[in-house]
Structure 1
């Protein structure tokens, strides 16, 4: 007899439901989110079937201590998409209703009915899992820094427009070290006017600038002394304090992201698959770490290149019904893999003759820039699949050709 389990998770407790092959509820318990709760959960599965590891457990999250405990105990865990779970509710009852006990049973029913469409979570090594946590935290830190920089710019525009535009033409804008250091020294127009060219040169050098220091200091000095509208002194001082507070948060966020990157670099260098990723053209240290972290190091996770393409949103979605036929790219996908793929494919255009030729050929065939990059991304993923399976580094003539598939299979 086959059995299927569903675990509805919560902050303080979890509900476990087990059903048999006929959909009959065999067991239901509520456990706490701690070590004793995990012991009770495993005991309940053992009571249903002595070989409990043959019972898949469906859950809507891949994170948390309970999931880590189940995987450490060897229990197969199947992560289900919450959107798909919500669509399954109407299959059990015409009236939509929700409860923890009902949700646990619903998850078990999904595995019973469509278990072949949902695979267990990959068995990545602890090193790859740690790399995933670190790279995601680093990406979130970069996004937070960008958000704080935009908030700072919005505040500066209301009382200090010279500072809001001083570094707008440079990469990084207000997140640049010299911008943050100068704004910390002069958070208001009144204090900026007091900055001499010599003082600006000192600040620029302290921020790490090594070229054209005098020219940049002269430009900033002229910009800060240009005639401009001003807020009343009291308002200007208050808004300056607001900007200084945002600068403090921005500095801390950037420093934290830098610390995380140091840790990411250490973890990536210790992983045996890193040399394969880094051998690809356009694959910098950060892109390699992110891709390795999201794909994991389970050698059997993607049996074919097509499976890898679909997971990374490199293959299109086809909608064909009657006379209607539409092909579009996958929008519901892992945003980290989609972002990494776009950057990776773009970086290869100047570093790989084969990649450039494929891109130019697709543009000539009518593909727009994003569509051509997605085709290139799919081809690169095929090369990566080949290299990981064979344990070899990238070679323009061997790996790129070995992964080639008819381009019509990738859509537009």
Structure 2
């Protein structure tokens, strides 16, 4: 007798329900969020026919956590059901809109019983790609934290120290650059910055790691920091300087975290066998490649074709048709992290690939805006990526399918780019 399990997840306990193929309740329990609860859950599954050859599938409303990791380790199908979808299914079982944890567990189990084919189980990614996902997502979060911390500091400096923003604007990373952070830590107020001598500025620039054009940079910063500006009252300016030091600590922590996580993500990504294929694409470096691999994984059965991957990434449009009305719109429900790195990938490919630039220009000439043209380019590139990963070949834009090589041939602008065998130059 086939069975289906559902788990209503909570922070300290979980409600479990098991139903058969007719929808009858076979077992229910409330388990704790620890090893004892896991053993109790596995015992209930074993009592009702669970085995290594025929594991009972389980539905849960999250894809993370120790419980999900342990269930995936048992090689069973684990379905992460969207809470909004689960709420719609609940109305099929309780028209009075009553709600309880046990009812939610039964609803999740019945979702698998009736509509398992309409939902996708969690992919069977390797341990290496799961570690890459942890590092790449943490690094992306650190970058977002760094941007937020930098914006807060910039907004604060604009209220009492605008000349510092002018002085650091030409720097590559602006306020996030090591030079800007080092000088601001030493002189957080306009009065302290104006008191810095050329020798002190030169020492701070060297401390920040600058190796070239030190004298030129010293003179530029000296002139900018000594330029006349409006001032707050002395005590107010001093207090705002203390607040700057606090905001600067948050920015320093975010910058350090982003750099360390980027190094760890790249180092782990380069150990994966798909790294060579992914980085063979124009515009994809080791870090952006790690972000792409983190979201698509290495379970090749996860996406049956390139269309599924394009929809998951948000690159494919959505068509809504009713009668004579047809509307084609950008996809809103998507993997936001993959879509985010997709725009970076497409933008970088414009300067790294003649074919990508030709495709983008043609879309612009056809009336697309910049964002739409970039999304369409990402759509083509990720389709090529699916092909290359499936066939285990590296991307080669200038190689024709027959093997003839024509330099500068913008193949991407018309058809799928050529491919070369993995490991060859």
What residue number does 1:85 align with?
Answer: 86
Q: Whole-Å Cα distance in 1 between the matches of residues 17 and 167 of structure 2?
A: 61
What residue number does 1:156 align with?
Answer: 157
Moved more, 154-163 or 130-139: 154-163
Task: Summarize the Cα distance change of 1:85–1:171 in structure 2 as closer, same or farther, 3 Å threshold.
Answer: farther
What residue number does 1:408 align with?
Answer: none
Per the alignment, in what secondary structure is the counterpart of residue 351 of structure 2? coil
Task: Summarize the Cα distance change of 1:273–1:402 in structure 2 as closer, same or farther, 3 Å threshold.
Answer: farther
Moved more, 88-97 or 362-371: 88-97
Q: Deviation per CA, 1:273-321, whole angstroms, max 9, x where unpaired? A: 1011111111111111111111111122112111111111110111111
Paired residues for 1:195-274 under 5 Å:
195-274=196-275
**Is residue 2:159 matched to residue 1:176?**
no
Q: Deviation per CA, 1:51-79, whole angstroms, max 9, x where unpaired? A: 37442111111110000111111221011
Q: Whole-Å Cα distance in 2 between the matches of residues 402 and 388 of structure 1?
A: 20
Paired residues for 1:211-360 under 5 Å:
211-360=212-361
What residue number does 2:20 align with?
Answer: 20
The answer as to whether partners of 1:349 and 1:356 remain within 8 angstroms in 2 is: yes
The answer as to whether partners of 1:320 and 1:326 remain within 8 angstroms in 2 is: yes
State the aligned residue count. 405
The answer as to whether partners of 2:55 and 2:75 remain within 8 angstroms in 1 is: no
CA drift of 1:32 comes to: 0.9
CA drift of 1:174 comes to: 0.8
CA drift of 1:248 comes to: 1.5
What residue number does 1:101 align with?
Answer: 102
What residue number does 1:132 align with?
Answer: 133
Q: Deviation per CA, 1:319-351, whole angstroms, max 9, x where unpaired? A: 111232211111121111101111111211222
Task: Summarize the Cα distance change of 1:235–1:32 in structure 2 as closer, same or farther, 3 Å threshold.
Answer: same
Q: Whole-Å Cα distance in 1 between the matches of residues 163 and 358 of structure 2?
A: 45
Task: Summarize the Cα distance change of 1:198–1:330 in structure 2 as closer, same or farther, 3 Å threshold.
Answer: same
Q: What 5-or-longer segments of structure 2 have no aligned partner?
A: 402-410, 417-425
Q: Whole-Å Cα distance in 2 between the matches of residues 402 and 161 of structure 1?
A: 46
Q: Whole-Å Cα distance in 1 between the matches of residues 150 and 363 of structure 2?
A: 37
CA RMSD of aligned residues (A): 2.0
Per the alignment, in what secondary structure is the counterpart of residue 148 of structure 2? helix
The answer as to whether partners of 1:345 and 1:377 remain within 8 angstroms in 2 is: yes
Moved more, 86-95 or 155-164: 86-95
What residue number does 1:379 align with?
Answer: 380
CA drift of 1:166 comes to: 2.5
Q: Deviation per CA, 1:103-144, whole angstroms, max 9, x where unpaired? A: 111111222222111121000001000000001111111111
Task: Summarize the Cα distance change of 1:153–1:272 in structure 2 as closer, same or farther, 3 Å threshold.
Answer: same
Paired residues for 1:366-405 under 5 Å:
366-396=367-397, 397-398=399-400, 404=415
CA drift of 1:205 comes to: 2.5
Per the alignment, in what secondary structure is the counterpart of residue 202 of structure 2? helix
Q: Whole-Å Cα distance in 2 between the matches of residues 133 and 66 of structure 1?
A: 17
The answer as to whether partners of 1:382 and 1:404 remain within 8 angstroms in 2 is: no
CA drift of 1:244 comes to: 0.6
Moved more, 209-218 or 227-236: 209-218
CA drift of 1:169 comes to: 4.7
What residue number does 1:42 align with?
Answer: 42
What residue number does 2:143 align with?
Answer: 142
Q: Whole-Å Cα distance in 1 between the matches of residues 175 and 63 of structure 2?
A: 36
Per the alignment, in what secondary structure is the counterpart of residue 349 of structure 1? helix
CA drift of 1:202 comes to: 2.2
TM normalised by structure 1 equals 0.93
The answer as to whether partners of 1:302 and 1:308 remain within 8 angstroms in 2 is: yes
TM normalised by structure 2 equals 0.90
Q: Whole-Å Cα distance in 1 between the matches of residues 156 and 363 of structure 2?
A: 44
